[in-house]
Amino acid sequence: MQTLQLELDNHAYPIHIGEGLLANADLIKPALKGQKRAVVVTNETVAPLYLAQLQATLASLDCSIVPIVLPDGEHHKNWQTLNLIYEGMLRANCERKTPVIALGGGVVGDMAGFAAATYQRGVPFIQVPTTLLSQVDSSVGGKTAINHELGKNMIGAFYQPNLVLADTSVLATLSDRELRAGLAEVIKYGILGDLPFFEWLEQNIDALIARDTDALQYAIKRSCEDKARIVEADEKEGGVRALLNLGHTFGHAIETGLGYGAWLHGEAVAAGMVIAADVSRRLGILGAAEQTRIVELIRRARLPTQSPDLGIDRYLELMGHDKKVESGKIRFVLVSAIGQAVIRGDVPESVLGDAITACLA
């Protein structure tokens, strides 16, 4: 097991990474703060696999659970499903100190975190991510949200957990498609700020796809280190944290335009990073050879390198709803070199149109 500590001005929490952690009561106990009951939010896919195991671990701490099992899928990340969490907590008479534990991937983590942030104006929150994408990205940093039909993650809150417990053994039940989707976020960290990690990924991408235990644990740890460093510098995304959105402006447009769940989040981000690299080259800030390396690594991860044809006007319309729009201008995260990302608000629509067109399937 390896442990990282994310240190913020008024809050700190551990990120534990390793095998078999779901059964380790000693790791969970401090975050419960003596409470004898906890809400466990999960979904229909994860519950049959790991809910009983987590329940047994909590029972060893004399802590019972209020299970709330949600329907699975990005298309359920909405007000209606969020209300199922509130209703379950209210019916169980949950109190202000009752912890909420997210047992699942990014969708479960986002919704459970938003519920924890808003139920009685904030209750303790614990992340137990069960997908690669959630272990390397969404469980760390305190972003919580639900989707709206006009835009992804537009309604939410910053709300930090008290613990992130990343049990790598649960990845054994993850589908190949979900594993590859998680690799998109891993690759993102190398592109935006960690050239040595990008080079390591070029050497080890096949091992990651083959689920090599040591490679996966290293990639998770390195990704969490990179994200923690950025979040510590900019918790509420006033500056450098926006770089973590590399590929996301285009990717969110793909997810919203196709309908939530048609493409997995990581798949859309992968295609979005390809477009971002193309825009960067067209603006003259990224060399063609580096663009090729980025696209090739994404291709080797068996992720999309081409985007669906939504129509250029539709892309621009959807990106106009992005959270990074400022004074009516979309701020794009672009790449000036592998390991260096920049934010630009001056990208001409003609360049965007040409780049998107060049990357269409």
| Mean pLDDT value of segment 5-21 | 96
Q: Which of 185, 235, 255, 267 is catalytic?
A: 185
Q: Answer yes or no: 222 catalytic.
A: no
181-214 confidence digits (pLDDT tens): 999 999 999 999 999 999 999 999 999 999 999 9
Q: Answer yes or no: 96 catalytic.
A: no
- Looking at the DSSP bridge assignments, the partners of residue 145 are 156
Query: What are phi and psi for residue 332, nearest 5 degrees?
Result: -100, 140
Q: Answer yes or no: 221 catalytic.
A: no
Q: Answer yes or no: 143 catalytic.
A: yes
The band of 45, judged by pLDDT with boundaries at 50, 70 and 90, is: very high
Q: Answer yes or no: 245 catalytic.
A: yes
Nearest to 228 by CA among 142, 134, 141, 126: 141
77-109 confidence digits (pLDDT tens): 999 999 999 999 999 999 999 999 999 999 999
Structure tokens at 33: 């703060």
Q: Answer yes or no: 74 catalytic.
A: no
Q: Which of 74, 178, 237, 290 is catalytic?
A: 237
Q: Answer yes or no: 83 catalytic.
A: no
The band of 327, judged by pLDDT with boundaries at 50, 70 and 90, is: low
Q: Answer yes or no: 16 catalytic.
A: no
Q: Which of 241, 281, 282, 323 is catalytic?
A: 241
- Looking at the DSSP bridge assignments, the partners of residue 81 are none
What per-residue confidence (pLDDT) applies to 361? 77
Q: Which of 37, 77, 188, 265 is catalytic?
A: 265
Q: Which of 37, 77, 248, 323 is catalytic?
A: 248
Q: Which of 37, 76, 77, 143 is catalytic?
A: 143
Q: Answer yes or no: 76 catalytic.
A: no
Domains delineated in the chain: 2-173 (3.40.50.1970), 176-358 (1.20.1090.10)
149-160 confidence digits (pLDDT tens): 888 999 999 999
- Cα(70)–Cα(44) distance, rounded to whole angstroms? 6
* Mean pLDDT computed over every residue of the chain: 96
- Cα(290)–Cα(277) distance, rounded to whole angstroms? 9
- Cα(256)–Cα(234) distance, rounded to whole angstroms? 27
Task: Return the percentage of the chain with pLDDT > 70, whole number.
Answer: 99
What per-residue confidence (pLDDT) applies to 59? 98
What per-residue confidence (pLDDT) applies to 323? 65
Q: Which of 221, 252, 282, 331 is catalytic?
A: 252
Q: Answer yes or no: 185 catalytic.
A: yes
Q: Which of 245, 255, 267, 281 is catalytic?
A: 245
- Cα(57)–Cα(61) distance, rounded to whole angstroms? 7
Is the CB of residue 324 less than 8 Å from the CB of residue 249?
yes
Q: What b-and-e string marks burial along 298-328, b requiring 16 or more CB atoms within 10 Å of the CB?
A: bebbebbbebbebeeeebbebbebbbbeeee
246-275 confidence digits (pLDDT tens): 999 999 999 999 999 999 999 999 999 999
137-184 confidence digits (pLDDT tens): 999 999 999 999 888 999 999 999 999 999 999 999 999 999 999 999
